[in-house]
Structure formats: C-alpha cells, structure tokens
Amino acid sequence: MIFKQEIVNLLDRMAVQYELYEHQPIKTVAESQDLGLPHQEWATKNFFLRDKKKKHYFIITTQENKSVDLRTIRQILGTSALSFASDEDLGNMLGVVSGAVSPFGALNDESQKVKVYIDRLFEGHLMDAHPNDNGATMFLPAEDVIRVLRESGRTADYIDLPGEEEEEDGEGEAETETEIETDTASRSKILVSQCLFGGDPVRYDGQSKTLKDPLFLKWKSEGRLVPVCPEVFGGLSVPRPDAQIVGERVINREGTDVTDAYRKGAQEAVRLAKEYQVAFAVMKEKSPSCGSNEIYDGTFSGNRIAGQGLAVKLLREAGVKVFSEEQLEEAAKLL
Ligand code: SF4
C-alpha cells in the first residue's frame, strides 16, 4: 500500500508539479470547504462504486458541487447496476477510510480491478486529490493524475458527466443527456506510441519524438489518444540500449535477448487497445516494438527492411488496424 509520502515521492520522480496542504483529517465535503484551501473552483468529490457482481470497481471524480446520479454513470460506462462500494472494500482495495477517496486510491489496488474516471471538466485544469490520507490535500493538473495512474499500470481516463449545474437555460436534463451521449459516441479512442504523444521521454535514447502534426494535435485535444510505450510498459528503463529484431527474437546492442520484456509490453498494448476499444493505432515507424511498415534489419548498421515491430504484430493479430505517424490522413478515414 502506498500513502502520502510514497505518493509525494512518486510525483517528484515523475516531475509532476503540485501543491500540498496538510490539515486536520476531514470526512465530508462540508468539512473540506471549511479548511479555506485555495483553488476551490477545482475541488472534487469522489465516488467509489461497484457493479452488481462486484467484478468491476470505479473511482468517479467530479466537481464538488455537481450533482450526478448513478444511473447516468452506469449508462455512460455500460455496466450493470452500480452502487457504492462498502467501507470494507475501501480499506481492502484502496487502503483508505471514507473521506480519503481520490484517484490515487487506485495505486493500492493490486488486483487492478479499479478503473478511474475523472470528469472531463477538469481536463486542462487543476484538481484536488487526497494522497490516500484525509489529513492532506494536493492540487495538481488532472492530466498528471491520469498520467501517474496509467504509468503505474492503472486504468484512468476522462468521462463526460452531465450534471445539474450545467443546465443554465432550464431546458431540462433530457437534452443535456442526449448531447453527451452523441459526443461520447463520436469520440473514438486511438492507441498511440507514447514517444509521439509527448510528456516524459520514453525512447531508448532518453528523448521524445513528440508529433506536432495538426491532425494528431486535434485528436489529442479531443481526448482521443491513449498513449502506450510497449518497451517501458514491458519493464525496460529510460534510457536503455537500442534493440533490433533478429529472426524471432529481440536483441539489444549489447547482445542481450530482451524478447520477454518486449513481448510483455506488446501484450500490455493489446490489453489497452481492447480496454479502450480503439478505432485504430498510430505507432512510431521503424521501432522494434512500434514499427508498422519498416524496421531495422538486425545488424545495427542502419539498414532498414520491410517489417513490423513486436507490439504492432500482436495488435494486428488482435484485429487492431495500425498506421505509422506518416499515415494520419489514411487513418482518419476510420473515425
Ligand atoms: S517502444 Fe514505441 S512508444 Fe516506446 S519509445 Fe519505442 S517507438 Fe516510442
């Protein structure tokens, strides 16, 4: 289980900017409002929910004053009936007590049953979160909360939640729900190589290859992109020796067989593609993991051959269409 200090250490390691406030333990939204913390417009409340058969658990984070009903969340997530998880589940799965729930609780869920969904209202903004301790509150970008969870192997994303506070013209809930449903349905997800997505460098040489193509940036701003670095997800470090495919194996420049790590990361890419039901994937060309048309020939001499990386191979075998960063227009036809 990880708590405040470990979360602080994790954020520091990932170079996440945050503000941390220590205070007396609180249990309710009203108590948190009395603390006089800054950024109250980005204060949250969190629901820890489960489905009927207790197979799926969710942490739903929305704005403190927003009214959202469980039926609406259930419809958006496409689950069976939802109810609040018990205090026992809170302790066993998240390691926290009532009043301390936040997306960081999912870091303690070793079974990885818990999925985190943060109201899209927070996209591009700060949000508050207890660091698994209701005696402290952090403020940090919602983007970073999602990134920390994903890079820790958890499932985290935004969710479009209709709520009563958005109904300023009094035209009723039905119209709001219809708009949200249409918007959600049209926002297909796209799996992308993390080095194209940007953020923390993940390439073997400690660099990124952040893609600035306008179409890619548009997809990014729409919240469609699901970044994955198969090599990092497979347990390899940054930086690391570069590797190439030699026959059926992946061998790095030092002669070490790294096939197992590459395969593990490739399987994680497939898991994410299925999880998000992606429309397609855009993967970095020439990589022994992500190359989709061309890879290096295994001699470390700079020669390229037609071929595909290990993650792309597994993605295609799983039925996912894969394009390179040079084929965005072609890929866009599938949306
Ligand atoms: S494995 Fe893929 S995502 Fe990771 S650095 Fe290589 S090309 Fe980029």
Distance 21 CA to ligand 1 centre (A): 37
Question: Domain 4-165's class?
Answer: alpha beta
- The pLDDT value given to residue 13: 94
| Average pLDDT estimate for 258-267 | 95
- The pLDDT value given to residue 177: 32
Distance 128 CA to ligand 1 centre (A): 31
Share of the chain above pLDDT 70, in %: 92
Considering only residues 285 and 64, tell me which one the structure prediction assigns the higher pLDDT.
285
Ligand 1 pocket (Cβ < 6 Å) reads: 193-195, 202-203, 229-231, 284, 287, 289-290
pLDDT tens digit sequence for 63-79: 988 877 788 888 888 88
Distance 330 CA to ligand 1 centre (A): 21
The atom of ligand 1 lying closest to the CA of 289 is: 1
* Smallest CA separation from ligand 1 atom 6, residue: 203
- The pLDDT value given to residue 309: 98
- The pLDDT value given to residue 164: 60
Has this prediction a pTM greater than 0.75?
no
- The pLDDT value given to residue 276: 81
Lowest-confidence segment of 28-32, 80-84, 131-135, 309-313 by average pLDDT: 28-32
The atom of ligand 1 lying closest to the CA of 193 is: 3
Distance 195 CA to ligand 1 centre (A): 6
pLDDT tens digit sequence for 113-129: 999 999 999 999 999 99
The atom of ligand 1 lying closest to the CA of 291 is: 7
Distance 120 CA to ligand 1 centre (A): 27
Distance 148 CA to ligand 1 centre (A): 18
Give the chain as a 3 state SS string: CCCHHHHHHHHHHCCCCCEEEECCCCCCHHHHHCCCCCCHHHCEEEEEEEECCCCCEEEEEEECCCCCCHHHHHHHHCCCCEEECCHHHHHHHHCCCCCCCCHHHHHHCCCCCEEEEEEHHHCCCEEEECCCCCCEEEEEEHHHHHHHHHHCCCEEEEECCCCHHHCCCCCCHHHHHHHHHHHHHHCCCEEEEHHHHCCCCCCCCCCCCCCCCHHHHHHHHCCCEEEECHHHHCCCCCCCCCEEEECCEEEECCCCECHHHHHHHHHHHHHHHHHCCCCEEEECCECCCCCCCEEECCCCCCCEEECCCHHHHHHHHCCCCEEECCCHHHHHCCC
Domain extent listing, the chain: 4-165, 187-332
- The pLDDT value given to residue 32: 78
Residues 6+ apart with CB under 8 A from 127: 42, 44, 61, 118, 139, 140, 141, 142, 145
If you average pLDDT over every residue of the chain, what do you get?
88
* Smallest CA separation from ligand 1 atom 8, residue: 195
Distance 97 CA to ligand 1 centre (A): 39
Considering only residues 53 and 292, tell me which one the structure prediction assigns the higher pLDDT.
292
* Smallest CA separation from ligand 1 atom 4, residue: 229
- The pLDDT value given to residue 108: 96
- The pLDDT value given to residue 184: 35
| Average pLDDT estimate for 28-50 | 85
pLDDT tens digit sequence for 154-188: 999 999 988 765 333 333 333 333 333 333 333 58
